[in-house]
Amino acid sequence: MTATGVPSATSTIGPSVFEDLGHAFGLSGKVLRAAPCGNGHINDTFAVSFSGNGASARYIFQRINHRVFREPECVMENIDRVLRHLYEKALERGERAPLKLIHTRNGNSFHRDRCGDYWRVYNFIAGVRSHDIVRSPALAFEAARAFGAFQADLADLPPPRLHETIPHFHDTPRRLENLERAVAEDREGRAAAVRPEIEFVRVRADAAGRLLALQRARQLPERITHNDTKLNNVLISDADHRAICVIDLDTVMPGLVHYDFGDMIRTSVSPTPEDEPDLDRIEARFEYFEALLRGYLSSAGAFLTPEERRHLPFSGVLITLEIGARFLTDHIEGDVYFKIHRPGHNLDRARAQFRLVERLEALMPRMTDLLGEIEEHAGEDAAPPNHR
């Protein structure tokens, strides 16, 4: 179900639609199979196989949600620049960048169809999967290492500054204002039933502005960040469980490193899915935080300032609170932003985030102590042997 006004990823898209789209991207042949792919809340993703000249080739087709990304041209300009830069970086290391955009016959990075929808195509990376639940610290280490390497590679992207594809995306105080506006308007009459959740956010309003205040005071630098580092946005090799590449690049733009590290914490430390309805199952597992921290520092540690490192443990609380507030806002507004799959889905998601915030708050002293220990031993190998 989607409430965004953009058609959802359904089986109603027949092979001939992908054949027409494929033609625009210079892909000839018949479509053998086209299947919806992944659990994203915003765009529609399909794995599409084409046959031709006795061989078959697979691609990822994505329809960009242009209600959410108001300027898809800017999104694609960013992604094109970022992938070209990552390609150069890989080449310098004697490696091959795994992810490539397929351009249209006209050389564009996207195609606009007759309905006005925007499509892009990537090469299909085989032998990998994305994990919605992180089942081992080694996997958390590896994914965090990949996201850190992604930030490190983009640190020297030449100007101009990337477009802000969604302005104020991680402005948590503004997200809280949006929640207050939704509560005041209460168009669906849902606010009264979620008073405890609204209060949960209100009492944490001071924490919401902490990092932005430090950025304004020039104590935290702007970086190029991914901004949607759900652990399922890194592809992991089936063969050796190494991270192969970071995907879902629509929100790559200027930001604080904490937005990325915080979302890694949010999506890895609990053994439960993001929408877990049984709140008693939600945990903040310290060993997963440790693996994330060590993995992230192994690739990003060299460019982070001491002040940036100092706030890494808090980033999980911040981003989990922020996303929880966004889910709650969407529930109150009538599920107009995130795709939902059942009534009350956004409320379940919000409640799960808030329980995780509590668990992370309780873990703050241990997380901070660990960071202190690692800082003391800086310069020694960042990864314990069992994480290699």
Interface pick for ligand ADP out of 49, 227, 232, 267 (rule CB under 6 A): 232
Which letter does DSSP use for residue 380 in this model? Answer: B
Beta carbon of residue 230, minimum distance to ligand GN1 (angstroms, whole number): 5
Chain positions contacting ligand GN1, by CB under 6 A:
40-42, 68, 228, 230, 248, 251, 274, 323
Tell me the CB-side half-sphere exposure of residue 9, using CA atoms within 13 A.
23
**What is the per-residue binding string for Mg ion in 229-258, x denoting contact by CB under 5 A?**
----x--------------x----------
Residues 13 and 47: their CA atoms lie apart, in Å, by 12
Q: Contact between 40 and Mg ion (CB under 5 A)?
A: yes
Closest CA to 323 of 338, 312, 334, 313: 338
- Of 274 and 335, nearer to ligand GN1 (C-beta) is 274
Phi first, then psi, for residue 243 (nearest 5°) are -75, 130
Residues 27 and 21: their CA atoms lie apart, in Å, by 8
Interface pick for ligand ADP out of 76, 99, 191, 293 (rule CB under 6 A): 99
In the bound state, the residue with its beta carbon closest to ligand ADP is 40
DSSP secondary structure of 176-232: HHHHHHHHHH-TTS-SGGGHHHHHHHHTTHHHHTHHHHHHHTTSS--EEE-S---GG
Interface pick for ligand ADP out of 22, 40, 72, 137 (rule CB under 6 A): 40
Which of 15-29 are b and which e, b meaning 16 or more Cβ less than 10 Å from the residue's Cβ? bebbbebbebbebeb
Q: What is the size of the binding site for Mg ion (CB under 5 A)?
A: 3
- Of 29 and 344, nearer to ligand GN1 (C-beta) is 344
Q: Contact between 274 and Mg ion (CB under 5 A)?
A: no
- Give residue 125's region: left, alpha or beta (phi > 0; psi -120 to 50): beta
Q: For the beta carbon of residue 237, count every other beta carbon within 10 angstroms.
A: 15
Q: Contact between 72 and ligand ADP (CB under 6 A)?
A: no
Q: Out of ligand GN1, ligand ADP, Mg ion, none, which partner does residue 72 contact, by CB within 5 to 8 A per kind?
A: none
DSSP secondary structure of 284-298: --HHHHHHHHHHHHH
Q: Contact between 124 and ligand ADP (CB under 6 A)?
A: yes
Q: For the beta carbon of residue 360, count every other beta carbon within 10 angstroms.
A: 26
Q: Out of ligand GN1, Mg ion, ligand ADP, none, which partner does residue 259 contact, by CB within 5 to 8 A per kind?
A: none
Q: Which pair of structure tokens corresponds to residue 196?
A: 């405890």
Could you tell me which stretch among 102-110, 154-162, 227-235, 328-336 binds Mg ion (CB under 5 A)?
A: 227-235
Q: Contact between 236 and ligand ADP (CB under 6 A)?
A: no
Interface pick for ligand ADP out of 125, 166, 374, 383 (rule CB under 6 A): 125
DSSP secondary structure of 220-258: S--EEE-S---GGGEEEETTT--EEEE---TT-EEE-HH
Interface pick for ligand ADP out of 45, 49, 109, 299 (rule CB under 6 A): 45
Q: Out of Mg ion, ligand GN1, ligand ADP, none, which partner does residue 251 contact, by CB within 5 to 8 A per kind?
A: ligand GN1
Q: What is the size of the binding site for ligand ADP (CB under 6 A)?
A: 16
Q: Out of ligand ADP, ligand GN1, Mg ion, none, which partner does residue 323 contact, by CB within 5 to 8 A per kind?
A: ligand GN1
Beta carbon of residue 226, minimum distance to ligand GN1 (angstroms, whole number): 10
Residues 66 and 42: their CA atoms lie apart, in Å, by 9
Phi first, then psi, for residue 33 (nearest 5°) are -160, 140
Length of the chain: 388
User: What value does the CA radius of gyration of the chain take, rounded to a whole number of Å?
Assistant: 21
Q: Which pair of structure tokens corresponds to residue 21?
A: 């789209």
Residues 270 and 267: their CA atoms lie apart, in Å, by 7
Q: Out of ligand ADP, Mg ion, ligand GN1, none, which partner does residue 68 contact, by CB within 5 to 8 A per kind?
A: ligand GN1
- Of 132 and 156, nearer to Mg ion (C-beta) is 132
Which residues of this protein are in contact with ligand ADP, per CB under 6 A? 37-38, 40, 42-43, 45, 60, 99, 122, 124-125, 130, 232-233, 247-248
Task: Name the residues that contact Mg ion, by CB under 5 A.
Answer: 40, 233, 248
